[in-house]
Amino acid sequence: MKNIAKKAAAFALAFTLLGTGTAVTKTFSPTSDTSITASAACYHSAGQPRAEYGEWTATGKKKLIICPVVRYEKQYKRTITYRCSSCGKTLYTVPEYKWQWAI
């Protein structure tokens, strides 16, 4: 009776290990692969983040300035993306606006 219990436990353990994300699971049933893949953590504290500046694009807004001379100004916008200097993950993005003389 002990031998049967050991074989049943070994059989159950074998099927448990087959379903833990090994290559066998992905081969037999790729749609029901529920394994978790871990990667090393980055705490984003290795120096200052690097900034990537986007292109200036016109927003379509205009304003008329009358004093001291009459002129129009157009608004432009770009996005600044700050990335981690060690892993490259996007930390945050900030929009930047400017007004420029329009002819």
Q: 33 falls in which pLDDT band (50, 70, 90)?
A: low
Task: Flag whether pLDDT at 81 surpasses 90.
Answer: yes
For the segment 49-74, what is each residue's pLDDT rounded down to a tens digit?
889 999 999 988 888 877 777 788 89
Reported as a pLDDT band with limits 50, 70 and 90, residue 88 is: confident
pLDDT given at position 56: 92
Size of the chain, expressed as the number of residues it contains: 103
User: What pLDDT score does 52 carry?
Assistant: 94
The domain limits of the chain are: 1-38, 44-103
Average pLDDT over residues 73-90: 90
- Measured between alpha carbons, how far is 20 from 96 in angstroms, rounded to an integer? 47
